[in-house]
Chain A
Amino acid sequence: MPPILPSTSLALKAGPNKYDHISFIIGVDSARNFSGAQTGALDPANGMFWTWNSGYIMAKLEGSSPISTQPDNRIEYHIGGFKDPDNVLQKVVLPFPETASIDFSPNSTATVTITANVNAWFNNPNELHIAQTPVCMTPGDLSKKIAENYSKMFTITHIATK
Chain B
Amino acid sequence: MMKTAFVILLIGIFMTACIFMNSCSKKNDSSHNTTSLNFTIPAGFPDPQYKFEGNTLTKEGFELGRTLFYDGILSKDGNFSCASCHQQFAAFSTFDHDLSHGFNNQFTTRNAPALFNLVWQKEYHWDGGINHIEVQPLAPLTAPNEMAEDINNVVDKLKKDDNYKKMFRAAYGDDAVSSQRMLKAITQFVGSLVSANSKYDKVKRGEKSFTVAEQTGYTAFQQKCASCHKEPLFTDLSYRNNGMPLNTYLNDYGRMRITGKKEDSLKFKVPSLRNVFQSFPYGHDGRFYSIDNVLNHYSTGIKSSPTLDPLLKNKIPLTTEERYYIKIFLATLTDSTFLNDKRFAQP
Contact = CB atoms under 8 A, between A and B. Distances in A.
Contacts of A27: 14, 16
Interface string A52-64: 1111111111111
Interface string B125-139: 100011111110011
Contacts of A53: 129, 257-258
24 contacts: A24-B16, A27-B16, A29-B16, A36-B54, A36-B133, A37-B180, A37-B183, A37-B184, A39-B22, A41-B14, A41-B16, A41-B20, A43-B180, A52-B130, A52-B143, A54-B135, A55-B131, A58-B13, A60-B11, A61-B10, A62-B9, A64-B6, A66-B5, A75-B6
A118 B180 contact: no
**Contact-residue bracket for chain B:** 35 or more
A47 interface: yes
Nearest to A89: B16
B260 interface: yes
A59 to B, nearest CB: 5
Contacts of B215: none
Interface string B120-161: 000001000111111100110111000000011001000000
Given A53-B258, A60-B11, 14 more contacts: A12-B19, A36-B132, A42-B22, A44-B179, A45-B178, A48-B14, A54-B131, A54-B132, A58-B14, A60-B13, A62-B9, A63-B6, A64-B7, A65-B6
A80 B125 CA distance: 20
Which of B6, B15, B132 has the most chain A CB within a 10 Å cutoff? Answer: B6
Interface in A13-45: 13, 24-29, 32-45
Nearest to A66: B4
A119 interface: yes
Contacts of A130: 4, 6
Contacts of B11: 5, 59-61, 118
A36 B188 CA distance: 13
A52 B21 CA distance: 24
Interface in B97-131: 125, 129-131
